[in-house]
């Protein structure tokens, strides 16, 4: 989460990955305005208040997509199956690359 907040300060303009032209919407200013409107003078934000902070919620989700807390997940296969022409037997351990999924534009 520190990384997401740091990027708000470093990157004043959001750039769409499909376009060379930046969208002029300073994320830090939008976030400050949303927090000022919803949270006001409180020092601590509760998780239940995230429903009323959609812009901040999107920033947090995007930060976790781009910089997940773990790069890989390990899962045990519960039944035999075929994936991309490969047979995966029951009981095998499959490693999922979360980092590459988060960075893949197809997802």
45 and 91 share one domain: no
50 and 83 share one domain: no
For 23, the token pair is 């969208």
pLDDT tens digits for 60-102? 888 888 888 888 999 999 999 998 899 999 999 999 999 888 8
Mean pLDDT computed over 36-51: 80
43 and 11 share one domain: yes
**How many domains, in total, are found in the chain?**
2
97 and 50 share one domain: no
Q: What pLDDT does 89 receive?
A: 96
Domain that holds residue 92: 72-103
pLDDT tens digits for 16-31? 455 555 555 577 788 8
* Global confidence as pTM: 0.63
Give the Cα separation of 107 and 55 in Å (integer): 21
Mean pLDDT computed over 1-28: 60
- Inter-residue contact 77 to 91 (CB < 8 Å): yes
Of residues 40 and 74, the one with the higher pLDDT is 74
84 and 54 share one domain: no
């Amino acid at each position: 989460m520190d990384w997401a907040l740091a990027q708000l300060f470093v990157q004043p303009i959001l750039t769409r990955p499909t376009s060379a032209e930046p969208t002029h919407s300073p994320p830090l200013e939008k976030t400050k305005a949303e927090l000022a409107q919803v949270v006001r003078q409180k020092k601590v934000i509760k998780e239940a208040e995230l429903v009323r902070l959609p812009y901040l919620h999107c920033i947090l989700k995007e930060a976790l997509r781009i910089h997940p807390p773990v790069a890989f997940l390990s899962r045990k296969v519960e039944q035999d199956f075929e994936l991309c022409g490969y047979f995966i037997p029951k009981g095998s351990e499959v490693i999922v690359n979360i980092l590459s999924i988060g960075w893949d534009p197809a997802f």
